[in-house]
Amino acid sequence: MDTPFVAVLMGSDSDLPVMDATLGILRTLRIPFEVKIRSAHRTPDATRDYVEDAERRGCAVFVCAAGLAAHLAGAVAGMTTRPVIGVPLDAGPLKGMDALLATVQMPGGIPVATVAIGKAGAKNAAWLAAQILALSDPRLNERLRAARAANTADVLAKDAALQEQSG
Ligand code: RP5
């Protein structure tokens, strides 16, 4: 069987500065991924071709990021039964609320696991994809536990520094 990987799709290269956060976390967790620019509106045929091919080659989770009338995650969700995580991006005057509603308001039966607008969502898309893959990968699960423990230690160290300054 092919090694499961995460496919990260974004609607435009203008999304990359935010979506770099997803790619960085996947790299840190040593999760194989592919990254593509595909648009529900501008490249519908190429989007379908890629999703079908990626699913055949072992894609386990799709992360789809887009701004404005963000239909990429929903369109991909309609093409595959693999989990789809949607990242709404701030790309216009509505500051990402347009993309949030377009991504999250899916009809019953075609879910998109929608994360927060922007950088926090880009990070959580990677963490959530990792948690899905970790269901069948105990070593990845150990790396996730270690990352959580490091995060906790980091916050407590910051609190200790604050207490020292303010005490
Ligand atoms: C969306 O339109 C993209 O995902 C991007 O967030 C936004 C603007 O795209 P560009 O005009 O910068 O290519 O489809």
Residue 44 has pLDDT above 80, yes or no: yes
Ligand 1, pocket residues at CB < 6 Å: 10-12, 14-15, 39, 66-68, 89, 91
Q: What is the pLDDT of residues 113-162, one digit of tens each?
A: 999 999 999 999 999 999 999 999 999 999 999 999 999 999 999 999 99
| Distance (Å) from CA 42 to ligand 1 centroid | 10
Residue 2 has pLDDT above 80, yes or no: no
> Which residue minimizes the CA distance to atom 5 of ligand 1?
67
**Residues 6+ away with beta carbon under 8 Å from 82:** 55, 59, 60, 61, 62
The answer to whether 78 and 110 are in contact (CB under 8 A) is: yes
Q: What CA–CA distance (Å, rounded) separates 17 from 25?
A: 14
pTM of the shown model: 0.96
| Distance (Å) from CA 38 to ligand 1 centroid | 10
Q: What is the pLDDT of residue 167?
A: 83
Q: Which fold has domain 5-136?
A: Rossmann fold (3.40.50)
> Which residue minimizes the CA distance to atom 14 of ligand 1?
11
Q: What is the pLDDT of residue 142?
A: 98
Residue 52 has pLDDT above 60, yes or no: yes
